[in-house]
Amino acid sequence: MVTDSQKIKKIQRGVVRAYQDLLSDPGGWHPSMSSMEFDRIGSEEAARLEEMFSMEEVYLALLELNGDKALGPDGFPIAVWQFCWDFVKDEIMGFFKDFFERGKFVRSLNSTFLVLVPKKGGADDLRDYKPISLVGGLYKILAKVLANRLKKVVSKVVSPTQNAFVEGRQILDAALIANKAINSLLKGDEAGVLCKLDLEKAYDHINWDFLMTVMLKMGFGEKWTEHSRVKARGPHFPLFVLGMEALSYLINRAVRESFLIGCRLRGRGGSGIQVSHLLFADDTLVFCEDSQDQMAILSWLLMWFEAISGLSINLNKSETLPVGKVENAEVLASELGCKVGSLPSTYLELPLGAPHKSMAVWDGVE
């Protein structure tokens, strides 16, 4: 434990500087997205997103929040706002009216306590700590209201490969499809590679100009995108999945032009469907043939995605998982610059490539 006051202050300054760099836009050149096309919401749906906030809408969003979460800078848990609604509802609705008309709010409402929680025992590097943002109550309520609005239309613009924040889709769906793909390869005596990719601090690194461009291309109005720019930081606001559609677009285009093959899930009739990738927010699986050319193409796609979005692949946490008889696993992994893993593994904390009849593989899954 450090006890010297000068060393403590030096560490404090270093931590502050590190997170200032992390949470600021580095600027620089970004490729054009003019050729990218996405599904769009209708004009009526876009207009409803920009309607004045109603008291019923705000109150329902407030009730959906966990009242016992840790306090933010305002010192009030959400339970206080829930319990005192009849006394504070006029002030809260005044805040929402002001935000609707001006597109911004008092800066102090966005103040955040950043708490560093160690990921493991004996953590001695800043990367070994997970930052948790503790924000104020009004900010949480606004985030929830905007998230509820977006969830009503997000399924119109998010591809079937994305399983996060879309009603009717569950975390289990992605894991089941991934295991089905592995079984299909093994039963067909085929070889393939699963690329299990980790995006480095995705919610902090995403470029907001990129995200706003994606939203406008999806048919969202300018007022809504500006509201989102003010608020939408954090893993519980589904804007992030819209940005991941750019990666889906790049992979799908490569598949259409036969640069990537993916995996075919065989049905009983022998036809089946093709699966090229799966997403759950930023948790990404990409299916490739055991081909060095395909791995090189995937590497270029990821570099292009990083250039337009600001998101980068954490190679230390990413891995390739050979399926079947893959002879050149190390060479294939070197194309991405990551390590070679092995099956069984996990995806979304669920078993991946494990014998499904074995009870032991489900130990620790809650």
Q: What is the pLDDT of residues 336-347, one digit of tens each?
A: 999 999 999 988
Task: Grade residue 239 by pLDDT with cuts at 50, 70 and 90.
Answer: confident
Q: What is the pTM of this model?
A: 0.85
Q: Nearest 5°: CA angle at 357, between 351 and 360?
A: 55
- For 38, the token pair is 């996405």
Residues 6 or more apart whose Cβ sits within 8 Å of residue 296: 335
- The residue ranking higher by pLDDT, 228 or 293, is 293
- Assess whether pLDDT exceeds 50 at residue 33: yes
Task: Grade residue 366 by pLDDT with cuts at 50, 70 and 90.
Answer: low
Can you give the pLDDT at residue 141? 92
**Interval 195-211: pLDDT, tens:** 999 888 766 678 888 99
Of 101, 269, 282, 112, the closest CA to residue 205 belongs to 282
- Assess whether pLDDT exceeds 90 at residue 61: yes
Q: What is the dihedral sign for C-alpha 208, 209, 210, 216?
A: positive
**Interval 128-175: pLDDT, tens:** 888 887 888 888 899 899 989 999 999 999 999 998 888 888 888 888
- The share of the chain scoring above pLDDT 90, in percent, equals 42
Q: Mean pLDDT throughout 67-86?
A: 89
Q: What is the dihedral sign for C-alpha 271, 186, 172, 239?
A: negative
- Assess whether pLDDT exceeds 80 at residue 272: no
Q: Mean pLDDT throughout 5-33?
A: 76
C-alpha span between 332 and 292 (Å, rounded): 6
C-alpha span between 216 and 364 (Å, rounded): 42
C-alpha span between 46 and 186 (Å, rounded): 45
- The residue ranking higher by pLDDT, 209 or 106, is 209
Q: Mean pLDDT throughout 21-43?
A: 81
- Assess whether pLDDT exceeds 50 at residue 235: no
Of 167, 145, 141, the closest CA to residue 154 belongs to 167
Tell me the pLDDT of the chain averaged across its residues: 86
267 phi and psi, to 5 degrees?
A: -95, 180
**Interval 109-119: pLDDT, tens:** 777 788 888 88
DSSP 110: G
Lowest mean pLDDT among 8-12, 33-37, 92-96, 105-109: 105-109
- Assess whether pLDDT exceeds 50 at residue 41: yes
Can you give the pLDDT at residue 26? 65
